[in-house]
Structure 1
Amino acid sequence: MFDTTTTPDSFARVFTKGRLSIGLITPLEAYPESPFPTLKDHQQAAKQAEDASFSSLWIRDVPFYDPNFGDAAQMLDPFVYAGYLAAVTERITLGTTGIVLPLREPVAVAKQALSVDQLTDGRFVLGLSTGDRPVEYPAFNIDFEDRAARYREAIEVIRTLSENHFPKAETMRFGTFSGTLDMHPKPIHGRLPIMAVGRSGQPIEWLAQNVDAWVWAVDESAAIREILSALQTSALDGRPPAYGYSTFFDLDPNPDAPYQRFYNVVRIGRKALIERLLHHRDLGVQHVALNLKPSRRSAQSVIAEMGTHVLPALEAA
């Protein structure tokens, strides 16, 4: 985990103890009636989010469209899209939520992530998951039951290649590094921020000791308290990873509308939202990532209201 002397601004913009930031999950549009977004004006939406002071844009990794799941995400390859967003933004942190690591070769992931880190001048967070669509695993000829172990070992490979020069290492599932090869570029800030997305089949003890941040879907107060306590108990040197959550989000046009949940969708007016977010900040949540797919309003409208009312209220409180 980063300590207070080495934390890069790109990471601190999203994850800082005692502060709660808000990010957006791509695609940056509302498409409640379709599994496919239009990607219309997505570069303008990214700039609008940056100007509104959102902390981050999170890019999803969905290799295939599964009709049973009903959401193709932004459709574009996450690393290609991250490179595109790097060119149309200047300050906002870019990250992945998350690369389905067991389906990918970790040497290639390390190279891709380090490339985006370089192109963004270090404003990249590598979010890694095991995915939520088991049907994709046979297409890659990967054993679904081996996903948790592949995830752990692949993270070790990424750390080894990004943080060491001419490393020597042997792996069970991937390659052997004999000390004759070195991967470049190295991380801008000396270390690539790695974030777990979902449980990824891992015990909390492992997450507490091996990632810099963890974003899950758990957003209820009692469960948050339990998670943060478990992370603190298991952390090395008393420095647990930052915790945040993601949610499907529908900002009610009525600012006085109460909190409502429809399965995995939060519908809420801005006044109740501010109160809820401040409460979660006080519990220790450091980041909330919003997915606008189910929004009944345009993404532009939601981003504008959040930037005018919600984000300033969080900064001022």
Structure 2
Amino acid sequence: MPIAVFTKNSRPRLGKVFGDALIDLSVAAPDLPDSIIAFLKAGAPARASYDKVTRDSGELIPLTDVTLQAPVPQPEKFLAIGMNYADHGEEAKKLGVEVPPYQLWFNKQVSCINGPFDDVVSPKVTEKLDYEVELAVVIGKTCRYVSEEDAASVVGGYMVSNDVSARDWQLRTGTMTLGKSFDTHGPIGPWLTLPDEIGDPHDLRLRTFINGEVRQDGNTRDLIYSIWQQISYLSQVMTLKPGDILATGTPSGVGVAMNPPQFLRVGDVMRVEVEGLGHLENRVIKDRG
């Protein structure tokens, strides 16, 4: 069962999700750490304690009675790969953006992280706000020089991510970081699904709905670089640590590539989902800064 971060009239706590309810782990398993990063760092003993919690281990709290928070609010790194689906790469070519013959990574600054159902601000300095549904991988172990064959062993879990993008800012420079890092532009969640709960992460459907209209509909089987290749590649450069987030790419259907382009407007509701992992739903609101 997934592990969530939630609030209910108090500080954030961990919960084990059972369908449409959860159990407060601070009550059912008080020996467990109080954050997902600490949970991942604690390794096998924490997982064993977590697995012992059942539907009968405490009060089942309806999800409608709690507020779900970003599962990993303060990772050391939030990295994302660009143009990692062939169909999205073709979209990019039509916009004059060449697809490089290697993995193209950029930072989303961790200050952009947002909750799974929190509002997303439309910045007053952009007119080209866009969406990108992505499967997010959360690293579970400190690792370096990981082989593709061993990469699955360092995954702590999976989430849904929406790589909200200010396209005009993104395309000003080759790094893309500024256009990907506005405050609130990194919704993640709705919880962390542990690796053994989803089977093959390379066969998951991803979809985006804008005001109920399907805009993106893809499958992770179409990744150009697999999750294992991504982890191996990054780990040649840097030490990956528990809680680090890797957004693995988005399929075709982004607003900037539509004819004419369909950018987000205040009041729009984005729903992005990944099969087996749940969904995020975020309303676009006016920038009042």
**TM class by smaller structure:** under 0.3
| Higher share of residues assigned strand | 2
Q: TM-score, normalised by structure 1?
A: 0.22
TM-score normalized with structure 2 length: 0.24
**Greater per-residue helix proportion:** 1
